[in-house]
């Protein structure tokens, strides 16, 4: 994508799929939280880098919520989307859906918000192109990202 064109949310969205294997689980047969955090970070980083055309580093992970456990053998789908760009940073939202392929049951298991910073070849922060939300949902996430950022900065 040319760097002088408008950057729409849909251009940088990521969908990543993983199968929960025995090495990914705890003694209860549930996906390890740390493994899921790794997958979330990777999906979010890809979305941030796709948007910015830069190497991006994780600056913060906010509000990682575990709604339901994810079990051995389930398929995990992670959907990542850049919600808003600030100057050198951007918020990326990730939702996680678990699927039992034997029953076709799908459920939202996790949500998370991450902040990434675009960096240059020397690891220094650089300005990131703005994002242009189009849909009603994208505009809502854009607005809410500013509220979350203000709360983070107030801490």
3-51 pLDDT per residue, tens: 557 899 999 999 999 999 999 999 999 999 999 999 999 999 999 999 9
Q: Taking 60 as the threshold, does the pLDDT of residue 131 lie above it? A: yes
CA distances from 116 to 26, 58, 108, 109, 155 (A): 29, 5, 24, 23, 18
CA distances from 139 to 28, 32, 134, 144 (A): 40, 33, 7, 9
Q: Show the domains of the chain with their CATH numbers.
A: 9-154 (3.10.129.10)
Residue 2 has a pLDDT of: 45
Q: What's the pLDDT tens digit per position in 69-78?
A: 999 999 999 9
Which among 9, 18, 68 is positioned nearest to 42, based on CA atoms? 18
pTM passes above 0.85: yes
Distance of CA 29 to the CA centre of its chain: 25
Residue 76 C-beta-side C-alpha neighbours within 13 Å: 30
Length of the chain: 155
Q: What's the pLDDT tens digit per position in 76-115?
A: 999 999 999 999 999 999 999 999 999 999 999 999 999 9
């Amino acid at each position: 994508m040319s760097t002088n064109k408008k950057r729409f949310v849909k251009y940088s969205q990521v969908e990543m799929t993983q199968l929960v294997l025995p090495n990914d689980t705890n003694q209860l047969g549930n996906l390890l939280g740390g493994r899921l955090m790794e997958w979330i970070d990777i999906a979010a980083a890809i979305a941030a880098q796709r948007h910015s055309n830069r190497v991006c580093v994780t600056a913060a992970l906010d509000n990682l919520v575990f709604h339901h456990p994810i079990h051995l053998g389930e398929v995990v789908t992670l959907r990542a989307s850049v919600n808003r760009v600030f100057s050198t940073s951007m918020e990326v939202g990730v939702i996680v859906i678990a699927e039992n392929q034997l029953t076709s049951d799908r459920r939202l298991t996790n949500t998370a918000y991450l902040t990434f910073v675009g960096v240059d070849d020397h690891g220094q922060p650089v300005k990131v192109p703005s994002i242009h939300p189009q849909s009603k949902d994208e505009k809502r996430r854009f607005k809410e990202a500013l509220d979350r950022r203000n709360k983070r900065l107030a801490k």
